[in-house]
Every structure is written in C-alpha cells, then in structure tokens.
Copies of this chain bind each other. A is one copy, B any other.
Amino acid sequence: MSLIVQKFGGTSVADAAKIQRAARRAIRAKLDGKQVVMVVSAMGKTTDILVGLAREVAKTPPKREMDMLLSTGEQVSIALMAMAIHDAGHAAISLTGGQLGLITDSVHTQARIQEISRERISEELNAGKIVIVAGFQGIDESGEIYTLGRGASDTTAAALAAVLGAEICEIYTDVDGIYTSDPRKVPQARKMDVINYDEMLEMAATGAGVMHSRAIEFGKKFGVPIHVRSSLTDQPGTMIMEHKEGLEDVAVRGATLKEDLATIVMSRVQNTPGVAAEVFAEVARNHILVDDIIQNFIEDGKFANIGFSTNQSQGQEALEICQRMAKERGFGPVDLDEKVNKVSIVGVGMRSHVGVASTMFRALSEAKINIDSISTSEIVISVIVREEDGLRALQTVHKAFKLDQPPA
C-alpha cells in the first residue's frame, strides 16, 4: 500500500474551518487507498504569540524552556486535527514527537533529527488510522523536548517521508507553488511545475524564503519528491525532485535577490599560505556571518584583496574586526560598503549551457547597473550591486533569461 505524507503549515490550520478542510484532504487520500501521515504546524500566529509571552516574563528566556513552551503549539494542532477527522467519521490518532519516537540531538531551539522510529507509526497506520504528527519537535534520549528551528515542520515531513518510504511528501501552504522569483518583487514571476533539489537548495540559500533547506536535503538524500502546493485549491503546485535529463531543459531556473547585505574589502593582504584562513577564522570567532567570499590578487600575486559579504547589521562590527587585523598584520586600508544587494541566478542547466554569465552581465550593463563583484558556483552566478539597483537588477535578469515564459 502506498504511503503519502501531507504537511500543513500554520496558515493552513489557522482556524477550525481550515483544520476541517485539511482533514478532508487527508481523508480523500485515505479513500484513494493510501496510507496517510499528516504533519501539522502550530495554528496561525500561535508561535509568535508564545514567543511574545516568553519575552514578557523574561529578557532572555532559557532555550530549554523555549522548547518546552513552543512545542505546545503543534500539540494543540495535532489534537484538533485528529478530532476533525474523527468527526468526519474516520479513524485518526495524534502523536507528539516524543510519542512517535523522533529523536534529536541535544541542541535546544535548533535541534537536528538523529533518528525516527517507524514502529509506532506503522502500528497505527496498519490499524487503518490517519496518523497526525506534531511537526517541529522531538525528544532526546533522556526525554527532554527539543524543537528543530522555525519552519522546521517541513523537515519533519520530509524526514518522515524518507524513513517511511513515502511515494511523495506534499507541503500544503498559502502559496500555490515555487516561483521563478519572488512575485512581490517580480510581478512577471511564473510558478514552476518542477525544480531540482539542488536548484531549490541554491534558491533558498540565495534569498528565496520558501522552504526549510533541511527538508529539501532530506528529500534529495532519500529521493522523495516534494510537492509544494496550495491548501486552498486542487491545482498542482511545484514538484521538487531529482534532475532528469531533458525535463524542462533550461539554463536558468530562477532568480533571487538577497537584500540588507554589506561588503568588506581588505586590501594588500600578504599572499602567504594560511593568511586568508586566519582572517576568516577570526571573523567566525566573532560570530560574523559570511555570505560570499571574493579574493583577487594584485602585484603579481604578492598581495591579495580579500572581500566578503555579510549581513548589513553586522557590517560595522565586521569592519572593526578587519581593521584591527589589518593594523596588527600590516594590510592596506579596509573598506566597508553597507548598502549592497546580491542578485543570483540558479540552474543546473548552466553546466551544459554556454554564455549564461555573459548574458547576465550584458543585460545588467545595458540596464546601466554596475556590478561590484561576482561569485559563482557550479549552478549559481551571483553579482553584488548597489542597494538602490537591487530590485531593478533582479527584474532585469528575470527578463533576460525569459523566466516569465514556460520552458519549451
């Protein structure tokens, strides 16, 4: 018997009517002859309300108690979902992360899944029940409660789908799929029918806020297709799956914008082995988040200019750290540019299509947008531009690669 995992986000279980709608969807899959595992998030703004309560009683709430607090949100949802399914005349049972046997490491508020027991779920599925699992939570070996980080119900769903050998993991949400770019920024953005795991991972890493990256990693690692779709309609959404040759064979799948960045450039850094490593070790020790690194060599390779991008909010602190290092080590001046954006294009097709980079640079040049720096990986090309050019740059590359038009 085939098995399906359906995950419903907070907006899809925000009130009684929406819970009942989600329940009907699971029942329909059951009546279609499938075993159904649901993963649900906390209702609507519940998590934000709980976080607000915590802030009211304590300036810095201990993380262990945050997990104790926040894990209740999903527990409320699973109980109500089970009730709604019962009310519609079908068998269902809710399970907390602990009851299910979802074991995490012991990092409060950011735990990672270590192991998922199949025993209890299989038992309940074999008894003909729809099994409803609390997303976002688990326990460690000692029974302590842990949460997996905001948005991590996606990860619970994908991990369960992997462990249970599900044919598909459906992610129900308030948008109808994954877009070539953020539709609020690019009105011409188009919903994609399909995207590869790697492309989805890179889009998430370069600014697309659609899905929890670890969920995609689970899907990729265990080969479970993830279907991101609307809880309001029956229209298909976007399938995240393994790349297949020939399938929508495009060079560029999507374009993303990362705002609120700053860049630091350290000049005349001695090009001796280990210097760059020492520089970034010091930066990391100060908890400065490094986005991209760009390094080039001057004066016949004797010196290098080392640049990196970071969050705007960390720009000043990063500058001070780098200036201190520059002074200690005799580098040249350090520059901070606090107002930059990063525009990226993502596509596994880049590997086989030539001229992708030049198309991007030409389009930006014709739009009179100056490129500060460039970084590339196998399936991503990113450029740093001035903050005021960011949105226009995104729209320009989206148009240049005809992302608004369906692939041939």
| A residues adjacent to B (C-beta < 8 A) | 16, 19-20, 50, 53-54, 56-62, 64-66, 68-69, 71-72, 75-76, 78-80, 82-84, 86-87, 93-94, 96, 98-99, 143-145
A19 surroundings in chain B (CB, below 8 A): 57
Whole-angstrom distance between the alpha carbons of A56 and B57 in the complex?
31
Interface residues of chain A: helix, strand, loop or mixed (majority): helix
Q: How far is the CB of A49 from chain B (nearest CB, A)?
A: 10
* 4 pairs of A and B residues whose beta carbons are closest in the complex: A69-B79, A58-B87, A16-B56, A68-B79
- Verify B99–A143 contact, CB threshold 8 A: yes
Query: Which chain B residue has the least Cβ–Cβ distance from A20?
Result: B57
With a CB–CB cut-off of 8 A, which chain B residues contact A56? 16
Nearest CB of chain B from residue A400's CB, rounded to whole Å: 49
A131 to chain B, nearest CB (A): 13
Using Cβ atoms and an 8 Å threshold, which residues of chain B touch A68? Answer: 75, 78-79, 82, 94, 96
The answer on a CB contact under 8 Å between A65 and B87 is no
- Inter-chain contact B79/A94, CB cutoff 8 Å: no
Q: From B54, B58, B82, B143, give the contact of A98 (CB < 8 A).
A: B143
Residues of B near A59 (CB, < 8 A) are: 87
| B83, A58: Cβ atoms closer than 8 Å | yes
Asked if residues A61 and B83 are in contact (CB atoms below 8 Å), the reply is yes
Complex Cα spacing A66 to B93, Å: 12
B86 lies within 8 A of A61 (CB): yes
Given contacts A60-B87, A62-B86, A71-B75, 19 further A-B contacts (CB under 8 A): A16-B56, A16-B57, A50-B76, A57-B83, A58-B83, A58-B86, A58-B87, A59-B87, A61-B87, A62-B83, A64-B93, A65-B80, A68-B79, A69-B80, A69-B83, A72-B72, A72-B79, A98-B98, A98-B143
